Chain A
């Protein structure tokens, strides 16, 4: 194939013809030597045969390509002004050679062969990796995570959602706080008493709700009713106190599979002014009044089996806050096994937000 290629092109570059012949012999010799070597190696190492063929193909491709490069270079070296046109021609011929029915110096057969080989190569690679992956994942149960120390200690989240945790609103302008109300309402839909009563069980407070049995058994969940939140439930005051300048903010602890607060010492929530005058917040009401997450909501068994699990909430009702000024508030979780002073993570065991209530 290459031989023909050369002799056909030779008249175009007569000045380099002699070279070409010299080179060719050399190349052929090398080529023969390689084939011998290859044969030896085949006997010696026993490699998958398709890889072998593939390599041969590649080598051929490479040689032909280099020929092309050389041609191009020589084209460039020609003093005639037509070099660009000639280059283009060569390029074109390289891309699609109608005479030999070759594209990129390969025949259709060669191309399909190489594609098939690569297909098999990658397919077998994918198969092996999939197998590995499958075996690995057999060691990782779908119900319980293997490790939990990265997600412990629990983080904290508050509702309603506020951009960069700044609660800015004007009591007299409902537009400024309406979205908080909508957000809270939406969030509390899952806590509706009717829904909770229908789905979940009422379990005894003050103790873990431990459900033994197989990992894959469905677990029951304890009720957390919206009504537990009293004034912040939105049932009595549909504006969650925003219309009176006494906003409710709900605090939720991040779920962690298997997390258990200290027995008899539930996790408590306490809020205070983060920086500045402590008297900026004169009173906060917590609902449930214990300001704690009851032990019955723990442990969490993971979402596969603990489908209806309802995260317990603590609502903070800021009933008397200084108006018309930004008040930074920090709410912390307190309890054993709770960390609330990680420097880099401002959401582990605490949350900081600002209240700026205008009248």
Chain B
């Protein structure tokens, strides 16, 4: 796990312009991102192009019509000149890579985002101020240069940090380009040529054979045993046969179209190129995925909001006091320096880096729980998720067929479908079961790969198709060594399953040494199997098949089918020994054996069962106020059955159809409000308007979308987002990548997922397990709570940093806190404690409250700001001022003397400034005292921040409920605060640029300690421990 730690951390903390556009909710701008795309389509056209179904009718045309349409000839192909013309017109047959933003632009973007602009302004103002000072007086102090440089350094370092994170972000197109075939066999000028696939044009006749990748979208003209693997496109992993007949209206479903980048598994085919490059289906999906702009994550929006608040406060106070200063007859230069000080005091320089670190800490924690986070901000997004659109196969289900139900002796038995299936508990004493189990074991071609005796049965690798694998494993669990049973019952003949017969048959010698009869066993589609039966086995006895037993069969069949399960019928026949002696040779082609009067034994149904952890996870989602919507390409019945079994459709809710069925009325007559659940198919969705979809999404709490296409997934996600919901989408195929990209958070499957899906997603579930999402949600919510604490903690000292300037300007006392000292608080002592808050445990059951409302539950809201600034902040500044005044008074300047002392204090020519005791101070002595004041103020804030840290540990609970020592990192934070402060005030005392001096006298320290502890007790005591202030 260690080496699999998240690779891509990226926090985008800027981009105000994007934000505004999105906020306007202007529908036309929604596909802004597409403008970057290379498709030369107009904006509106492109929108249609995105959301409408694939518009392709070539599969309906006859060969002749195709020839005319593409001006080609099926036998001779295009002429070289024609091809060249078309190539010039359409461009090469390759996916166009997305336009890359130049690295330097990305870097510069980081340099000007967030607070950077403010700090740059501050730095530049510093240098300008120094320039003016220098032009007046060559010997002016370098303080402003230092400050400007430090500010610039802060911005540059933060920018590099952020850029470094972003540089690791994914490149979606990379995985698509890997899929491009290199060569194609084409007929041109009546000759077969091998040309690079990039040069294919529409109308070319290409030949493909097993193993090739299909070089473009082709309409098949001739096919022989051709099977293709469409998994990269549709997510279905079963090979699909291809022929030249038009079988379905939907181009994705019809058999006579082969898709670009899919693989031909076996057989050969000839086809006409109908689409190339970006116009192919995969090209369209690729452009969908890269075209769907990365929506701003909720946390980015929150941070944006926070930056706006802080910047707003900084600028308005700065400008206000600039005006005040100017009108108080301060020199403009001084006023500018005040302005810088106010900006620096107000901007929490270290916060954005802290947030990034906090997020990455959580990301690491989540990676341990199998959620690999690619985009850092996604950590929180999952926490605010209010709708999860989940894929079915593999995510909710185990992605393997398993025997779910059996029907024999007129009874339905349930089989264990859990992941390990240690034992089957149904009644196995009946004689019918003995026969049935024998058929199951014998009438099966699947085999375990050898050498897996020690592997648990469920994990063994099997050669054979999904259903047979399920049956093999099932019988292995129930009967023991199936291979041994098969050996004992030697197989003499077999008819494999095919789609015309719809049954599978095999003939065995039995293991009963007395009974020399052959046993003929058959399984297949139940109705086909029943046709061949004349008797039915009940309790081990054969009985004639009459109407009532047939009815019982149909009821059971319908019931199992209604559960969305694949049902198989089983029957057998003992061939009379006289007619078929031991030496009889069976001929499968001649069918020299009876094919009727079988004895029906039972039904068995299989399903891809839900993962055992999923129902619990869904319940957790429910209680956490998250709506889970299933979006699947599977059939509605199966989808609904799985939805019911995992709780997406809860046990007591009904769909409109259910109600209609129960009340025996037409679907139209049902009052739609009675139905809590809905199953919507892709075909229905196609005909819905946006409003209708919205209505479906809002009026049903439980929804299943079945038979959906990639575009429809996108439509569904957009619909959810219109409800102001934060949408998480899970998926694994290429077809899912646009929806993954569009979603607020895309979650790809780590095991089953295609590269494209993983690239488009923000998060990868390493174990493909839905339950991991719930863990992620919990972490996400926790991080939101903790970020709130961090921000509250960080904002509090802003007032204590700001007040010195305001008092300095208004009252004219010597500056209590230097700008560089402020930076030492923001980037020094406060960093580790604010990160430590990220380790805080959840205060209550965070999974029992609703997801936060995107627009209401802000990260930084008014109560938080009011509480931080006006309550705790004011207390902190008062405490710090107390220390400041004490230090000055002890040195000789009592507060009354300090007032309005500023001008004299700062005059370099005054070297005999009188204090309250009549002592006279040189300029440098005063400066040194001023630095002592800075240090004292700094220590004052630092100690109170320790108190603040402790009160910020909790938002709702009292400190004692939360436990003072549960979060050990907090204490590391406090220790770091103290150590940094000690180093600054003792170790670096001699570096004048840092403006720190030693607080030498032991008495003074005693006193300081007393004062600050007093002040912090004050802070603690007065701090209202309430949920309302600063916590929403």
User: Which residues of A approach B to under 8 Å, CB–CB?
Assistant: 23, 26, 34, 37-38, 41, 44-45, 47-48, 51-52, 55-56, 58-59, 61-62, 65-66, 70, 73, 76-77, 121-122, 125-126, 128-129, 132-133, 136-137, 139-140, 142-151, 154-157, 163-164, 252, 254-257, 300, 302-304, 306, 309, 342, 344-348
Contacts and interface: CB of A to CB of B under 8 A. Distances in A.
Interface stretch (B403-411, B743-751, B1007-1015): B1007-1015
A164 B909 contact: yes
Given A62-B862, A151-B925, A132 B1011 contact: yes
A317 B928 CA distance: 34
Contact of A38 (B855, B925, B928, B1026): B1026
B384 interface: no
Contacts of A52: 1024, 1026
Interface string B904-940: 0000010110111111111111001100100000000
Nearest to A124: B1022
A145 B892 CA distance: 5
Given A136-B886, A150-B932, A155-B911, A59 B919 contact: no
B958 A44 contact: yes
A59 B925 contact: no
B911 to A, nearest CB: 4
Interface of B: 23-25, 850, 853, 855-856, 861-863, 866, 871, 874-875, 878-879, 881-882, 885-886, 889-892, 894, 909, 911-912, 914-925, 928-929, 932, 956, 958, 992, 1000-1001, 1003-1004, 1007, 1011, 1014-1015, 1018, 1022, 1024-1029, 1032
Given A145-B892, A155-B922, A163-B909, A139 B1007 contact: yes
Contact of B889 (A26, A140, A150): A140
Contact of B1029 (A41, A58, A257, A302): A58
B866 A347 contact: no
Given A132-B1015, A150-B932, A157 B1007 contact: no
A33 to B, nearest CB: 9
Nearest to B25: A77
A139 to B, nearest CB: 7
Given A23-B856, A55-B1028, A148-B892, 14 more contacts: A26-B850, A26-B853, A37-B1027, A59-B1028, A76-B25, A136-B889, A142-B894, A150-B891, A150-B928, A254-B919, A255-B914, A303-B914, A342-B924, A346-B924
26 contacts: A34-B1028, A38-B1026, A38-B1027, A45-B1025, A55-B863, A55-B1024, A55-B1029, A58-B862, A62-B1032, A65-B862, A66-B855, A66-B856, A122-B874, A144-B917, A145-B917, A147-B1004, A149-B1000, A150-B928, A151-B915, A254-B911, A256-B919, A257-B918, A300-B919, A303-B914, A309-B918, A348-B925
A136 B24 contact: no
A136 B881 CA distance: 13
Contacts of A139: 1007
Contacts of A44: 958
B919 A151 contact: yes
A47 B917 contact: no
A348 B874 contact: no
Contacts of B1001: 147, 149
Contacts of B863: 55, 58-59, 62
Can you list the 6 inter-chain pairs with the closest CB atoms, starting with the nearest? A303-B918, A345-B924, A155-B922, A254-B920, A146-B890, A347-B922
B1014 A132 contact: yes
A223 B734 CA distance: 100
Nearest to A61: B862
A128 B1018 contact: yes
Contacts of A163: 909
B906 to A, nearest CB: 15
Contacts of A304: 917-918
A58 B1032 CA distance: 11
A303 B891 contact: no
A150 B925 contact: yes
A258 B112 CA distance: 56
A151 B1026 CA distance: 48
Nearest to A129: B878
Contacts of B909: 163-164
Nearest to B26: A77
Contact of A51 (B855, B862, B919, B1024): B1024
B926 to A, nearest CB: 9
A156 B925 CA distance: 12
A59 B920 contact: no
A156 B921 CA distance: 9
A133 B1018 CA distance: 13
A155 B927 CA distance: 14
Nearest to A343: B924
A21 to B, nearest CB: 12
Contacts of A347: 911, 922-924
Contacts of B1025: 41, 45, 47
A187 to B, nearest CB: 12
A309 B917 CA distance: 12
Contacts of B912: 155, 157, 252, 254
Contacts of B1015: 132
Given A151-B919, A157-B912, A157-B920, A76 B874 contact: no
A125 B878 contact: yes
